Structure formats: C-alpha cells, structure tokens
Structure 1
Amino acid sequence: MTALTLLQPGLMMTVQDRGRLGLLRSGVSRSGPMDASAFAIANALVGNGPAAAALEFAVIGGRLSVDRPVLVAVTGGAVDIRIDGRAVPGWESHRLSPGEVLSIGAMRGAVWGYVAVSGGIDTPPVLGARATHLRTAVGGLDGRVLAGGDVLPLGEGAPGPARRLTAIWRRSGGPVRVIPGPQADHFDAAGWAVFLRQAFAVSSRRDRMATVLEGPPVVAAKGHDIVSDATLAGSIQVPGSGNPIVLMADRQTTGGYPKIATVASVDLPRLAQMVTGARLRFAAIDQAEGEALLLAERKALADAIDSLAAS
C-alpha cells in the first residue's frame, strides 16, 4: 500500500470527495467540499477524476509527505506552498518525491483549501462516498478530523505531467444572490427590508455545518418556529435571535426555523470562502436566473479545466 503521512495536519483537515448523493431522504447529509470548484480544479491538476477524494483544510494547511512519487496541487485561495523549503505556486501541480515535505501555510483572503494527490485518497467508502461528516463520524478516516501521524492510503497510478491553468477562472463579486423561500411569507416587508438592504458580517461561529451572520436582527412576523422540513445547501434559517444561519456542506437534513431564502448555488462557495468579519449584502433573484448563473459558472469551470497544460 502506498500512503500519505500527515506530519502536521491543517486546521479542520478532513478527507472529502463529491459527497453522498441521494440519501437526504434517509437523513444522511451529503458532506463534500465547501468549495466544490476549487476542489474540482485541484483534482484535475493532478490528473484525478472528479470522484477522487482529496484533503480539505481550514485556513492553515500543515505538512505532509508520501512514500512514492506523486503530483500534488493546492487550491482554494492564495497561500504559501513549499516543497522542502522551495516555494512553489498554488493552482498548479508539482512533483513530490519520497523524502520531500510539502508545507502549506496560512490562506490569505480565503478560508477553505484543498490538497489533491495523484491517485486520490483511498480510504474505504462509507455509504457510497469517502467524504467525512464530522457530526456523525462517517467517512474519511474514522469519521474524524485528521491528526499528526495519520497515514492515508493512496490510489494506484503513476503521476502524469505537472499541469497549470491557462484560462482565467474567477468568481463574480457583488451581493450574495438568494432565491426567496421556502418560508418567504413568514417575513413581512419590514423583515425583508432588513434582510435585503442591510449589511451582515460573517461571524466566528462557523464550521462545515453552518455559518452564522451578525447584523441587524431579521424578524419573522409569523414567528421563528415551524414544523421541521427539509433543508438545502445554502438554506438561510432565521432563529429567534434574528441572526441568519446559512447551512453548509455538513448541514442537518431538516430544520425547524423558517428559511427566508436560499443562497444561489453559484454564490454559496463564495460565501463559504469569506473570511470571518467580512461584510456582505444579499440580492434577491428568481429560480430561473439562479439556474442560468449556475450553468454559466459550470461552463466556465469546465473551460478552465479543459485549459490545463503541462507546466
């Protein structure tokens, strides 16, 4: 068995793949990466298929080594990356040989980073995926955050050529776009005015399950309790505190707070990558526009991946 050894893990470092599909009705969260586009680019840079597992970390990436030659790539944001002390750029793949150490510093202007290794992380699938869901200790390595000294199996396959992006790939800025509902009618005109016209800040109360926003309270005129119903990635729950809670990759599958809106899928990774203290505003769009924006973003991502060239 070939393996990767974590000499010093990154913060909240876990094994993730695309997640568990089709199990929400059974109460199983999808999990998967917080920033699916950065995750996909990392896998493509090292020659992996889109279903391969990689490492996700928050803010700081740590140090690791391997026992066979591989390609490695680090994406997610700007970060200092070194191989045996030699600085190498992010968003490109690089050869890592046995005995060498990959060191990843602190992210700048982003939160979630990804480390892909050619062959992929080959932990046993659980319920059809290798993704780690921390609250239920499912998937990854014993369903937990990785620790120093952990050894992770790697999939087989000789590394191909190192690669880099040649097309520009970036996200749009501006307000975070949302689709009203499903409990939009729980909020009157005053509540909606606060939600859409006031700024909110990303709080330190955040993890893979949810992000709490701070700002003026959003009041639900019909009350802050509902009969529990299904949640989606990006559902914005509003509890009695009035502080919106944006549900993320490891969200619960049902919830009993009214959901004023859902973050458009195209903008959810951007919100996930906002640093603590960052300020944002919301803008309402309809479902058709949200779908069109997502399709355009997926095409841009596919074009970027198709642009990969030997570095």
Structure 2
Amino acid sequence: MITILETAPLNTVQDCGRPGYRNLGVGCSGVMDMLALQAGNILLENQPDDACIELQTFPFLLRFDVSVSFAVTGIDADMELDGQTLLPWSAATAAAGQTLRIGPPRTGARGYLCVAGGVDVPVILGSRSTQLRGGFGGLSGRFLEAGDTLGIRPGGAVCAGYAVIPPSAALKNENDAETSGVVTLRFIPATDYQLFTEQSRVLFQNCEWKITPQSNRVGYRLSGDKLQLTKPVELRSYGIVPGIVQVPPAGEPIVQMADANTAGGYPRIATVIEADLWRLAQARIGSRIRFQECSYEDGVDAMQPVEDWFENMRLMVSRYRNSSIRRQSGKSGGKK
C-alpha cells in the first residue's frame, strides 16, 4: 500500500491506455511519455502495461506502507528516501514506513513513479488509466489527493542498485543540438497538408513554435506564425489519435496528446511520429519546438533505436539479476 502525503492537482494513475474504444467516444488516455513508463517497468521486471503514478506537479511526497521496489523515470529531480538521495532512472527498494519525496524537475516535465508489481486500481475497459474527462479509471477518475491510498499488485520483484541512461541521452536527436533549447519533432504530412498554402507549409517547418499555457493532456496549443488554407474548407469529422496536428481557424496548431478527442474536424497538417511523442510530453510550457518532415518509412524506422534501447535495458536487468542470484547462492553455500 502507498499513502499520498503531499501532492497538487494533475497527478494521476496511468498505464499504457485503453485503445479500441474510440468508436464509443472513449479516448485512449494512458501515460504521456510511454518510454518513461516502459523503462520503469523494465527496471522493476514488471509487465509492460503495469500502472504507475504520472507526476505533473511537485513536490510529491508519499509513504510506502509495505516494503517494495520502485523507480522514478521521466525527469531529473532531487529525490530522497527518508532523507537519502536517490538517482532518477534507477531501481531502489523502500522498507515499510519510509517516505519518498520528489522535488521539482531540473529537466523534463513529467515524472513516473513505478512500483514492483504495478499500482493496483480497478481495471475499467481493459485499463487502469485515469480518464479525467469521463471521470473513471485510476482512483475514482480524478487527480490524486493527500490522504489517498493506492494498492500494489502482489508478486513484484525485489530490485535495487542499477540504473539506465535516459532517452534524452541514449536517443539524442542531432537536430536539437543545432538549435539549442528547441525540441525537434519529426512529422509525416497529414491528409490535409496540401490544403494549406505553400508559404504556410514552409512556415510550419521553419517557425519555432511556443507551447502555450493552454496546453494539457488533451492537446498542446502552439503559438507562432499563422497558417492559412488555400481556400476555406468544411471537413467531415474524422477519428483522432495522439500526434495529429490540427489547425483551427485562428491558424495556430494544436498537437493532440494522450487524452485526445476521439473525433474532430479541423484541417490536419501533420502527424508527429510515434518515436518523438515522448519528446513533446517532456517539453515544458513555454518551450519551443520545431517540426521536421520525414517519410512514412523513416517514421517507422525511427522506432528501431527505441526498441534497441529497451532491449539493452532488458539485457542489463537480466544480467544484474543473474549476477545477484549467483552472489546470493555463493553466500548461502559458504554458510553451510
């Protein structure tokens, strides 16, 4: 069991989401940064879809009411377990009664607290994710509050003493270095790309778009140059997935995120590739982003470095586990 001692709005229970219900008007939800969740679950030898706590506001303070292994991924921040400093992106084990404090991030926007076995809340429509707009999933479909308790699924492994290189270093985008402080997102032209003027298509890639305070888990609203259509159009509503970039009449793009609407009718200029969505999830309000066109084939191939990163992580955890088992067996043998 976990007890929340200090928190602020926007922190929720999330997993990989609930795809397959958009035809019923139910969005996918799930974590904003899928890489951070997967890394945490690999570090703890969890199942890929085990639920975590997604942190957007800090500081965050909790008490472990049972002994459990855990990992905090997604951000670089000051973290203390009963006053002892911990490293991010690493596995550690807490004893019953110990408290974990996570301070504001130095880098990144969202942290992910994963526990061995996964956070245990009811499964609704195949997922434990919080659906804020629908008011279900997670813990009663709402933000976490001080005094809340969360269960932990049984059978989690005991893990501690190893860490991974975060994706910001392992999967570094060379284009980011060319424009310091600007996050580069690769995109594939969307269905309505050619409906925009040639000048607007050029501006879309050359503009440094700013993430506005009106951004949230539903979508990131960007400010910058105004994009224009060659002529006014009226589109039928269409299905939406995270990553689609829509352009409302005002001309400034909206990037759909994890809690994206299930349908919409604004013209679609682009779709951010899956391999880069985590970069946008970790970009803070006020950050600047740039779009870079790529082919469909390049967008698909961009997932290979991500899969390689995951596989190297699994191998590291497996080798550490086997080494630990051998050491323990040697100690047991020496005592006999």
What's the TM-score, normalizing by structure 1? 0.94
Once the two structures are TM-superposed, the CA of residue 89 in structure 1 deviates from its matched residue by 0.7
Offset of 1:245 from its aligned partner? 0.3
| Amino acid in structure 1 at the alignment position of 2:27 | S
**In structure 2, distance between residues paired with 1:33 and 1:227:** 29
Written as runs of structure 1 = structure 2, the 5 A alignment for 1:1-311 is: 3-9=1-7, 11-157=9-155, 159-165=157-163, 169=167, 170-173=170-173, 174=175, 175-223=184-232, 225-308=234-317, 309=320
2:248 partner amino acid: P
Deviation at 1:220, TM superposition (A): 2.2
3-state SS in 2 of match to 1:283: strand
Q: Conserved in 2, the CA contact under 8 Å of 1:43 and 1:116?
A: yes
Q: Deviations over 1:85-128 (max 9, x none)?
A: 11111111111112210000011221111001112111010001
User: How far does residue 11 in structure 1 lie from its aligned partner after superposition?
Assistant: 4.5
- Percent same amino acid among aligned pairs? 34
Tell me the TM-score normalized by structure 2: 0.87
- Cα distance in 1 for partners of 2:15, 2:309 equals 21
Shift of 1:287: 0.8
Structure 1 pair 118–258 and aligned structure 2 pair: CA distance change class (3 A): same
Contact 2:171–2:305 (8 Å) recurs in 1 = no
Unaligned runs of 5+ in 1: none
Q: AA paired with 2:41?
A: N
Q: Contact (CA 8 Å) 1:47, 1:160: kept in 2 or not?
A: no
Structure 2: runs of 5 or more not aligned: 176-183, 325-336
Runs of 4+, deviation exceeding 4 Å = 166-169
RMSD: 1.7
Letter paired with 1:304: M
SS in 2 for 1:115: strand
Quick check: which has more Rg, 1 or 2? Answer: 2
Q: Secondary structure at the match of 2:297?
A: helix
Q: Which of the pair is proportionally richer in helix? A: 2
Equivalent pairs, count:
309
Output the CA distance in 2 between the equivalents of 1:10 and 1:52: 23
